[in-house]
Amino acid sequence: MSQSNKELQNRFEMKTVLETSRMLIESRSSDFVLNNLLLIIMGKLLSAKAAVLFYDPIKKIYKIEKAKGLKNISEGDQVKISLKESQKNCSHITYNDFSDQLPKLAENMENSIFFPLRTSNQHIGFLFIGPKATQKPFAPHELEFAESLCIISSVALSNSLLFDELKNTNRKLDRRIHELNTLFDLSKEFNLLTDREKISSIFKFALLGQLFIRTFFLVYKTPDKNTLLASSGIKKSFDQQEIDTLFELCPTEVKAVDDHCYDKVESLETNQITNIIGISIQGEKVAVIGVGERLNKETYTETDFNFLKSLSNLAVVSIQKTFLLEERIDKERMEEELSIAKSIQRGLLPDPIPTIKGVDLAAQTISSREVGGDYFDIAETPDGSTIFAIGDVTGKGVPAAMLMANLQSMLHVLLPVDIGLNEATERINDLIFKNTPSDKFITFFWAKYFKDSNVFRYVNAGHNPPILLRDKSDQIEELTEGGLLLGAMETISPYDQTDIQLYSGDMIVCYTDGVNEAMNQHQEEFGEERLYELILNNRHLSSQDLMNKILSDVREFAKNKLGDDLTLLILKIN
């Protein structure tokens, strides 16, 4: 080659290097850089085989990033290069010298060269160039040319790799922002929803869209049982036993599904669930979510799982909220019904207390709950007499109130019927026995008062004996005659009715066990003795005042904590 030719060639090479370097540095795509780099060197060095290998410092292996004319390997393959660090710092490595340490990338590796790609502080990888088509070794100026290009490209590559990494980081950031938006959107949406189906459907779609999956399920602990709340792509549904086992099995963290899980819950395998996660709220496991593989085969990152947890948490809290809401609505409805029942029950009692000529009368009932099982009545019969009644149904609340209403209606049906008090008691007993469970009964006392003769005819069916206090006597008498309490058994022996003659100043006090069994904080009962004494000491009071005195004393004794319904009916003959 003549001197001028050589010069021309040098200048040509210099120009190529300059132009290539400008193009490479301006480019931000490593793919573009690599492609050009390989093509230029292959053209210049007349080789049909070339590749770029990138070093993965974490796995300590090399990846074929770009390959041309190579049959044995393809892009993405991984190879090992076991050169020492110092050996990687030379300008080029001939395969012939290090054939043991270098990978065999082509059929014929003779005379092929590895050029290190590096910047001052980073080893990027190697550029591999196969043998010349002519099989001759490369000339020094050819190697020099390739070396120059490699140095320049390394900087460009390092830049574009950095750029790629930045792009990647930005994309990750965008995804995180999108995740946050999704969570924000959903929390807004869930707040407005009370429909569980709607919540679970929105949850499902957000999950599928955000994580790019098609198979998932969420098992949730409702107040009654563990149940499947939402799912997608499930081919074989989980039975109740599997759901319960799964719930037990899953820790409150991310768990990759293993053979043990598949053994225990077969549907996990059938549905190709790869990960399960237990969701806990305030330390209690409330849900288990399972997901299948992502459609783009990417593995789940920790942030993906965090998103999954947050989203599930949000959905579960919203679902819990709907249950609480329902409970509250139920409770409100119940309260409303009770308040209606209360006013109905109040309507069953005489109000106002009728006035009966020649009798000073007072009566009141106090329920420990909205409605109660105590009963009293004062009613006129067709023959002009008056019926006084007091009763106490076992138990409290609604069931007792219903039975009390039943008793009230029987009494009023029997009122105009011309039968004796004892016989009427018998009929009531038989009816109640027939119509109520055997553990429900009523203690009942009633009397017919003939105001012309002042005769007081009574039947006591197992009720706390009313007190008779005669004028000018300090002796309490108890009205005990009658028979068994109502509803316990069918009438075997007839009820006795007893007549007593009343005189002016005589007093009768009827009460239910809410009075004598009122309890103080030492678990002591108010008791009959205390009641008798109270009545004796206050016998001069009117019926109304005596009743108020008894009520206030009992209340004070029990510190206002009345455990049972309480009723008083007091009459005094003028």
Partner 1 sequence: MKNFKINHRESSGLDVLDLHGELDAHTASQLEESLKLLINSNKSNIIVNCSELDYIASAGLGVFMAYIEDVRSSGGDIKLTNMNERVYNVFDLLGFPTLYDILEDEQDAVERFSNEN
Q: In the bound complex, what is the minimum distance in angstroms from residue 183's beta carbon to partner 1?
A: 10
Question: Binding of partner 1 at residue 232 (CB under 8 A)?
Answer: yes
| Amino acid sitting at position 326 | E
Strand-strand pairing, 482-483 and 455-461: parallel
Question: Binding of partner 1 at residue 228 (CB under 8 A)?
Answer: no
Touching partner 1, residues 271-300 (CB under 8 A) = 295-296, 298
Q: Which residues are CB-neighbours of 482 under 8 A, at least 6 positions away?
A: 425, 445, 458, 459, 460, 461, 462, 495, 496, 497, 498
Q: Which of 396, 377, 402, 389 is nearest to 565 (CA)?
A: 396
Owner of token pair 């026995």: 433
Question: Binding of partner 1 at residue 210 (CB under 8 A)?
Answer: yes
Q: Closer to partner 1 by CB, 24 or 186: give it.
A: 186
Strand-strand pairing, 386-393 and 476-478: unpaired
CB-CB neighbours of 536 under 10 Å: 13
Q: Closer to partner 1 by CB, 175 or 342: give it.
A: 175
Q: Closer to partner 1 by CB, 96 or 169: give it.
A: 169
Q: In the bound complex, what is the minimum distance in angstroms from residue 165's beta carbon to partner 1?
A: 17
Question: Binding of partner 1 at residue 468 (CB under 8 A)?
Answer: no
Q: In the bound complex, what is the minimum distance in angstroms from residue 205's beta carbon to partner 1?
A: 3
Q: Which of 93, 103, 98, 120 is nearest to 63 (CA)?
A: 103
Q: Which residues are CB-neighbours of 386 under 8 A, at least 6 positions away?
A: 356, 359, 378, 379, 380, 448, 449, 451
Q: Closer to partner 1 by CB, 104 or 214: give it.
A: 214
Binding mask 434-453 for partner 1 (x = CB under 8 A): --------------------
Q: In the bound complex, what is the minimum distance in angstroms from residue 292's beta carbon to partner 1?
A: 12
Question: Binding of partner 1 at residue 213 (CB under 8 A)?
Answer: yes
Question: Binding of partner 1 at residue 331 (CB under 8 A)?
Answer: no
Among 44, 132, 198, 285, interactor with partner 1 by CB under 8 A: 198
Among 71, 141, 167, 209, interactor with partner 1 by CB under 8 A: 209
Q: Give me the DSSP letters along 101-158.
A: TS---SS--TT-EEEEEE-SS-EEEEEEE--BTT-PPPPHHHHHHHHHHHHHHHHHHH
Measured between alpha carbons, how far is 18 from 407 in angstroms, rounded to an integer? 112
Q: Closer to partner 1 by CB, 197 or 499: give it.
A: 197
Question: Binding of partner 1 at residue 12 (CB under 8 A)?
Answer: no
Touching partner 1, residues 298-327 (CB under 8 A) = 298
Touching partner 1, residues 104-163 (CB under 8 A) = none
CB-CB neighbours of 447 under 10 Å: 26
> Cβ distance 49 to 70 under 8 Å?
yes
Question: Binding of partner 1 at residue 207 (CB under 8 A)?
Answer: yes
Measured between alpha carbons, how far is 275 from 305 in angstroms, rounded to an integer? 10
Q: According to the 3-state scheme, what is the secondary structure of 211-277? A: HCECCEEEEEECCCCEEEEEEECCCCCCCHHHHHHHHHHCCCCEEECCHHHHHHCHHHHHCCEEEEE
Q: Closer to partner 1 by CB, 167 or 331: give it.
A: 167
Tell me, by CB under 8 A, how many residues bind partner 1. 27
Q: Which of 353, 387, 391 is nearest to 372 (CA)?
A: 391
Sign of CA dihedral 55, 56, 58, 61: negative
The SS3 assignment for 391 reads strand
Question: Binding of partner 1 at residue 347 (CB under 8 A)?
Answer: no
Q: Which one of 204-212, 500-508, 523-531, 548-556 is the stretch in contact with partner 1 (CB under 8 A)?
A: 204-212
Q: Closer to partner 1 by CB, 198 or 321: give it.
A: 198
Q: In the bound complex, what is the minimum distance in angstroms from residue 247's beta carbon to partner 1?
A: 25
Q: Closer to partner 1 by CB, 304 or 506: give it.
A: 304
Q: Note every long-range contact of 227-233, with CB atoms under 8 Å and residues 24 or more positions apart, other chains counting.
A: 229/196, 229/200, 229/287, 229/315, 229/319, 230/200, 230/201, 230/203, 230/204, 230/315, 231/204, 232/204, 232/207, 232/208, 233/271, 233/292
Q: In the bound complex, what is the minimum distance in angstroms from residue 111's beta carbon to partner 1?
A: 42
Instruction: Tell me how many degrees the CA angle 50-56-61 measures, rounded to the nearest 5.
Output: 70
Measured between alpha carbons, how far is 229 from 223 in angstroms, rounded to an integer? 13
Among 42, 208, 228, 541, interactor with partner 1 by CB under 8 A: 208
Q: Which one of 151-159, 160-168, 210-218, 504-512 is the stretch in contact with partner 1 (CB under 8 A)?
A: 210-218
Touching partner 1, residues 157-186 (CB under 8 A) = 171, 174-175, 178, 181-182, 185-186
Q: In the bound complex, what is the minimum distance in angstroms from residue 189's beta carbon to partner 1?
A: 4
Q: Closer to partner 1 by CB, 233 or 251: give it.
A: 233
Q: In the bound complex, what is the minimum distance in angstroms from residue 64's beta carbon to partner 1?
A: 22
Question: Which pair of structure tokens corresponds to residue 158?
Answer: 């390092």
Q: In the bound complex, what is the minimum distance in angstroms from residue 211's beta carbon to partner 1?
A: 8
Question: Binding of partner 1 at residue 233 (CB under 8 A)?
Answer: yes
Q: Which one of 78-86, 144-152, 208-216, 438-446 is the stretch in contact with partner 1 (CB under 8 A)?
A: 208-216
Q: Closer to partner 1 by CB, 193 or 500: give it.
A: 193
Phi and psi of 71, rounded to 5°? -95, -35
Q: Which residues are CB-neighbours of 556 under 8 A, at least 6 positions away?
A: none
Question: Binding of partner 1 at residue 212 (CB under 8 A)?
Answer: yes
> Cβ distance 211 to 304 under 8 Å?
yes
Q: Closer to partner 1 by CB, 208 or 431: give it.
A: 208
Among 77, 189, 244, 477, interactor with partner 1 by CB under 8 A: 189
> Cβ distance 476 to 469 under 8 Å?
yes
Q: Closer to partner 1 by CB, 20 or 215: give it.
A: 215
Footprint of partner 1 (CB under 8 A):
171, 174-175, 178, 181-182, 185-186, 189, 198, 201-202, 204-210, 212-214, 232-233, 295-296, 298
